[in-house]
Structure 1
Amino acid sequence: MTRFVASVEVDAPAVDVWDLMTDWPAHGRWVPLTRVRVLTPLATGVGARFVGRSSLAVVGLDAVGFDDPMEVTRWQPPVGDRAGRCDVRKLGRVVRGTAGFDVVPLTGRDGRPRTRVVWEEDIDIAPRPLTRLVGPLVALAGRLAFTATLRTMGRELSGRR
């Protein structure tokens, strides 16, 4: 398994960050070359399923890519000063494992609400021996990519205020 963690702070209340982070199709706006669609009637809560399709569709090559199907296994929205937590199980042929994020309410120096978002993944890349070979590179790339992704999400949210 390869593990990586990315963390950013966002100028917005935790409940707003949670609502955007759990809008699964919205992830396609921040994650390069990815579209997300919900597979279950309800997009929220334990048991919700969705799939991220990472491909070169933007240049007409959707066949060059892979699906990353996931199922929500933990759903704990933030309430007041209590952090929220969402976990998913990755069920794909290419990427397997778990991912999750915390949204932690904070208060900025100016007294305005802020939120720390911590994204974690523990994944295997198929074929599994490949994970052992390229794991450190995948962990570094994952941390950098998800930090950039979370910053993009934060800018989108800050722009709404």
Structure 2
Amino acid sequence: MVTFELERTAPLPLAEAWRRLTEWPRHGEVVPLTRVTVATPAPTHVGTVFVARSGFGPLGFDDRMEVTVWRPPTDDEPGLCRLEKRGRVVRGWAEIEVRPGPGGRSRVVWREELGVRLLPGLFDPVLARVARYVFGRAVNRLLRTE
């Protein structure tokens, strides 16, 4: 398992940054070869389940996630969403935190613990670099695009 953290500052109000980061199907639009399907009725809440299907045709895997903490930002408190990864291949958790930043901007912190079943620990440094790149790019694109 690898653990990493990404931080970004976005020229967006808190609610807008939160919305962009927690519209789950949009994640499939910014991560190559991935489609996200929400399995529970909207709106998102503790217990919401969604699946990221990554791959090409029959060569792929499902990354099943469940929201275990859902606390949208308010004027007084930062927002926090925690996802537990419960797929057969991908395990771990992710946290998305959105808090006030400088000059009316939003500060985003994305923390993740990621494990890939059957991938030996010897490959953790490579997994960490790849995950940081892929998730960093995805966060950047989610915050930039509508």
The reply to whether residue 143 of structure 1 matches residue 138 of structure 2 is no
Q: Percent identity?
A: 43
**Partner residue, 1:114:** 105
Runs of 4+ in 1 over 4 A off after TM superposition: none
CA distance in 1, matches of 2:121, 2:65: 23
TM-score, normalisation: structure 1: 0.85
**Partner residue, 1:97:** 92
**RMSD (CA atoms):** 1.4
Gaps of 5+ in 2: none
Contact 1:10 1:115 in 2 (8 A): yes
Gaps of 5+ in 1: 57-61
**Partner residue, 1:59:** none
Aligned positions of 1:56-71 closer than 5 A? 56=56, 62-71=57-66
The reply to whether residue 123 of structure 1 matches residue 118 of structure 2 is no
Give 1:132 shift.
Answer: 0.9
Give 1:81 shift.
Answer: 4.2
Give 1:18 shift.
Answer: 0.8
Give 1:42 shift.
Answer: 3.0
CA distance in 1, matches of 2:76, 2:125: 35
TM-score, normalisation: structure 2: 0.93
